[in-house]
A and B are shown apart, each in its own frame.
Chain A
C-alpha cells in the first residue's frame, strides 16, 4: 500500500522535471562531431581533392553503395573520375571512413537528407565534395607520402630523408 502511494507521488513529481523532448524542427538536436551522418569528400589544405581513388571505401562498404572510377592527372596524382554514393542504400556504418587511407571520405553530423524522389538520393562527386578539410585539418596526403608526383620528388615530403644513394658506399 505504501509503495503504491510512493510510486504515485514519484510520478507526480515528474510534473516539474525538465522535458526530455527535443522540439526538432525549431530546436536542433545536439550531435557529437563524430556522429555518423551525411558522407562528404574533403580536400587537403591546398584545396586539392584528398581522394586518391584507391577503392578501399567501395570494398569496405557492406551494402555496396559507393561507386567510383580512379584516374590520374598529368602530374601523376590520382583522383576519382566520378564518385557516387547511393544514400538510399547507405546504412551510415562508417566503414568507408575507417578504410580511407587519406582521410578523404568522412561522415558528418548532418542527417537532414530527406527527398521526395528516390533518385535524388544518389549523390555525385560535386554533391559530396566540400571545400574544407573536415575533421582532420592540416593533413595533406601527398606531403607525407613517399610517392613521387609532379612538383614533388622522392625525399621532398615532410619528415622524409633523402633517398639512399645505392651507388655510393658512404653511410
Chain B
C-alpha cells in the first residue's frame, strides 16, 4: 500500500515537473536563442519575462481549435495525443533520484526505445489525417527519419547496456559510480545525441516540419490546443532525450555536494541548452542527405562501436 501511494505521488510529481518544465522551455529557448543572436528575447512580462509562459499558455488555450472539413476527423484528433502520451510514458522509467521515479522497470531502456518509436505514429497519422499534400510530405519524412534514426539509436545504447550488464536505468546509473559512461562510450554518446536530436525532430533535424520547405509539415493544419500538444510534446521530447543522456552517459543523479535530484536537473538542463545551441547554430540538412547520413555513416559507426565494446567486455571479463 505504501509503495503504491509512493508510486502515485511520484507519478504526479514527475507529471507536474514535466508540465512546468515544458512550457518553461518555450521561454528558455526564446531567451537563449536571443542571447545567441545578440538580442534580449521576451523580457517584458514579469521578472526576466518569465510570465511570458503564462501569456503563451492563455493564448494557445483560447485560440480557435479548428478541424478542417476535409480531414479524417478521429485520426486527426488522436494524432497529437499520441506524441504527448508516448513521451510522458517514457518519463515513467527515468530515475530522477535514488528513490524518486515512477517505476523501477528491469527493461526500462527498452521501454524508452519502444515509447519513442510510438512517437513516429503521431507524425505519420497527423500527416495522413490532415489530407493536405504538405502535411503528407511531412508525415512521410517524419516516418522515414524516425525509422532510420531509431535503428542506430538503439544500437548506440547497447554499448552502455553491454558495459553495465543491465537494461534497468537505475542500475545503469549506479554502475557509473566510478566513471561516467561518457568516457568509455564517447562514440555511443555522440551517436545517441544525434539520434535523440532526430528523434525529437528538433532543428536542425526538423525535416518533418521544415517550415521553409513544406510550411509546417505534419502539423500544418493544426491549430489551438491540438497544435499546442505537438508543441509541448516536442519540448517534452527534448527534456526526455536530455534526461536520458544525463542518465545513461553522465551518471544521472550522481554528484557531490548537492542532493541527487538537483544534479539530475542540472545535467538535464545542460543538455537542453546544448539542444537549443545546436538549433541556434546549425542549418537543416537536405532530406535525402539526412537519411543517407543515417544509414551510411551513423549505422556502421554504431555497429562498430557496439562490436568494439563487446570485444573489450568479453576480453576483460573472460
Interface set of A (CB-CB < 8 Å, partner B): 4, 7-8, 10-12, 14-15, 17-21, 23
Q: Are B278 and A20 in contact (CB under 8 A)?
A: no
A11: B residues at CB distance < 8 A: 36, 277, 280-281
Considering the complex, which residues of chain B in the window 1-51 have a beta carbon less than 8 Å from any beta carbon of chain A? Answer: 35-40
Q: Are A20 and B36 in contact (CB under 8 A)?
A: no
Report the Cα distance A87→B38, complex, angstroms: 34
How many chain-B residues does the 8 Å CB contact rule pick out?
11
How distant is B292 from chain A, measured CB to nearest CB, in Å?
Answer: 16
Q: Are B39 and A21 in contact (CB under 8 A)?
A: yes
Report the Cα distance A123→B76, complex, angstroms: 55
Q: Mark B267-289, 1 if CB is under 8 A from A, else 0.
A: 00000000001101110000000
Number of A-B contacts (CB under 8 A): 32
Q: Are A19 and B282 in contact (CB under 8 A)?
A: no
A18: B residues at CB distance < 8 A: 38
Checking A4, A10, A12, A20 against B39 with a beta-carbon cut-off of 8 angstroms, the contacting residue is: A20
Q: A12-B281, A14-B37, A19-B40 are in contact. List 17 more A-B contacts (CB 8 A).
A: A4-B282, A7-B281, A8-B277, A8-B281, A8-B282, A10-B281, A11-B277, A11-B281, A12-B36, A14-B38, A15-B35, A15-B36, A18-B38, A19-B38, A20-B38, A20-B39, A21-B40
Q: Are B35 and A14 in contact (CB under 8 A)?
A: yes
How distant is B52 from chain A, measured CB to nearest CB, in Å?
Answer: 16
A10: B residues at CB distance < 8 A: 281
Sorted nearest first, the 4 A-B pairs with minimum C-beta distance are A11-B281, A8-B281, A20-B38, A14-B36
Report the Cα distance A121→B218, complex, angstroms: 46
Report the Cα distance A33→B231, complex, angstroms: 46
Report the Cα distance A10→B38, complex, angstroms: 12
Q: Are B277 and A12 in contact (CB under 8 A)?
A: yes
B280: A residues at CB distance < 8 A: 11
How distant is B190 from chain A, measured CB to nearest CB, in Å?
Answer: 11
Q: Are B277 and A19 in contact (CB under 8 A)?
A: no
